[in-house]
Structure 1
Amino acid sequence: MAEPKRYSRIFRVRQYECDMYGHVNNANYLRYMQEAAIEASAAVGYDVARYNQMGKLWLPRLTEIEYNQALKYGDEFEIVTWVEDIRRVRSLRVYEFRRAGEVAARASTDWVFMDAATRKPESVPPDLMAAYFDDGLPEPAERRAPFPTPPPPAPRLVIWPHTVNWRDVDMAGHVNNAQYLSLMEDATLEVGRAFGWSLERSLSQNLAWVVRRATLEYRTQAHYADALEITTYLANVRRSSASRFFFVKQQGSGELVVQAQLQYVLIDLGSGRPVAIPEELRRDYADNVSPEATK
């Protein structure tokens, strides 16, 4: 029976990886995942230099992250990662963030094998498939769930423009997949300001939205100096949680680059525990909620 080769790496949280709440920033979990994936591939004989020689690379199609416990400055944690499924042009890599014997976060990325020049999918070579497993290849897994169908747009949308900066772009020459989470954070803060809930107002009431789950689907790539726009609205509003959908598009053409669903929980900053969404907050955001949202 095929067994995936597992790779583990110890990290220590650095100060600049944390946000003002004292937690590791959401996007940095994805950056840890990228680093672990690169090292795991190198450990089975496929490092960056070998991929460059082959003229191939892996690009993400769908990433999911479930945040169970907040990692904080100075924490030492382990990432364990393995390839769970591989077929034709795609590979599903799974990640666990382990701290003190508990799983702080779980994640997966569905990667697509690409020709580096054309950026078109190519079949994964048999020897590359075999490198990730002991005792043969696994049986094909069930069909992977697609990105959730977005609900209808809210009556009032917030569209936040962004021109791709040099710092957004990685070695592959496009906006790094983790950077989209950072852009969505910026857009969320602009939404709060637009609806009367600036960061300062939230902090004055000891309230904060934290991400419990993130799902991102990458449709195409954005590059340096591209003019993007991020449209966002709320859905599935419940007692202390809500989902926010994001659509990153090219300005002008409207081509969809990335779409995402982030599931938020409102917490009390003092206790770190979920709290009921105040009625005034619900009222102020009402026009930015999809009409199909559950109240």
Structure 2
Amino acid sequence: MIRVRDNCRVLRGRADWVFMDRTEMRPKRLVPEFEDGFQPANAPLEDLEIRIPAAVSYPAHQFISERRAQSYEIDQLGHVNNANYLRWVEQASVDALASVGWDSARLQAENFYVFALGHELEYFHEAKEDDPIKIVSWVAEKSRVRGAWIHEMYQRDTGELLARDYAAGVFLRRDGANYRPTSMPDPLTHGLMTGERT
């Protein structure tokens, strides 16, 4: 997506998906007209560049959050719409931060913000309405001004892995009307690594 006033790219994304036969609920070959209209250029896909260069991996605490798949999250195919998994992992991050004493009020008081850089979300199995969902989240990588969570979403009762997300963000502090890169406060780093309130 390009912002019109200055021609600056503000959003980009890529999705892989499956064309489904609604009557049989099985993957179906695309019709040639569709394929022709959406044929990719004969070039490799552009790297979305959300991975953190020179990041350090940590043996971090795993945070658990649970929820149920809600009726409003279900699409016309009868399973949780893919967009809802992003909502789930965003809430899981907020819940994990709050559990170690860093809710939104504390983050603001400490002048510390995390802005999303991107997500790499892989889907493995579908979730249906009212399925119990367990989300396991941990800080997987951290550099001076960036960090990344891994979130794994499971069907709680069967243990089946539904989806995995790599979520990268940049650490910022507010400086007047602008935001500037900053490092994560040491107490927050300690809390995320240990699960202790700080």
Name the residue aligned to 2:16.
Answer: 110
RMSD of aligned alpha carbons: 2.6
TM-score by length of 2: 0.82
Within 5 Å, give how 1:179-258 maps onto structure 2.
179-258=84-163
The structural deviation recorded for 1:153 is: 8.8
For 1:229 and 1:169, the matched residues in 2 are separated by: 17
- 8 A Cα contact 2:148 2:166, kept in partner: yes
Q: Is the 8 A contact 2:57 2:140 kept in 1?
A: no
Aligned-partner SS, 2:193: helix
CA distance in 2: counterparts of 1:278 and 1:204, whole angstroms: 12
Give the drift of 1:142. Answer: 5.2
Superposed displacement of residue 217, structure 1: 0.8
Written as runs of structure 1 = structure 2, the 5 A alignment for 1:14-33 is none
Output the TM-score relative to the length of structure 1.
0.56
Structure 1 residue ranges without an equivalent (≥5) = 1-95, 289-295
Distance in 2 (CA, whole Å) between partners of 1:197 and 1:221 is 32
Which moves more between the two structures, 272-281 or 158-167? 272-281
CA shift for structure 1 position 138: 5.7
Residue 128 (structure 1) aligned to one of 34, 37, 40: 34
Q: Which residue pairs with 1:82 in the alignment?
A: none
Aligned residues of 2:172 and 2:182 also touching (Cα < 8 A) = yes
Distance across 1 between alignment mates of 2:162 and 2:147: 23
CA change 1:143–1:273 in 2 (3 A) is closer
**In the aligned structure 1, how far is the partner of 2:4 from the partner of 2:45?**
31
Contact 1:208/1:266 (8 A) holds in 2: yes
Paired residue secondary structure (1:108): coil
Say whether the 8 Å CA contact 2:58–2:141 is kept in structure 1: no
Runs of 5+ consecutive residues of structure 2 not aligned to the other structure: none
CA, structure 1 residues 142+103, in 2 after alignment: closer, same or farther (shift >3 Å)?
closer
- Equivalent pairs: percent with the same residue? 24
Secondary structure of the equivalent of 2:14?
strand
Amino acid at match of 2:140: A
Q: Give runs of aligned pairs for residues 77-156 of structure 1, distance below 5 A.
A: 96-100=1-5, 101-132=7-38, 139=42, 154=59, 156=61
- Where does residue 15 of structure 1 map in the other structure? none
Alpha-carbon distance between aligned partners in 2 of 1:196 and 1:258, rounded to the nearest angstrom: 27
Q: Which residue of 1 aligns with 2:173?
A: 268
CA deviation vs aligned residue, 1:262-282 (integer Å, no higher than 9, x gap): 001111134322111122222
- In the alignment, the residues of structure 1 paired with residue 98 and residue 190 of structure 2 have an alpha-carbon distance, to the nearest angstrom, of 15
Asked if the contact 1:98/1:105 (under 8 Å) is kept, the reply is no
Query: Does the C-alpha gap of structure 1 residues 129 and 252 become closer, same or farther in structure 2, counting only changes over 3 Å?
Result: same
Q: What CA distance in whole angstroms lies between the structure 2 residues aligned with 1:219 and 1:98?
A: 34
What is the Cα deviation at residue 152 of structure 1? 8.8
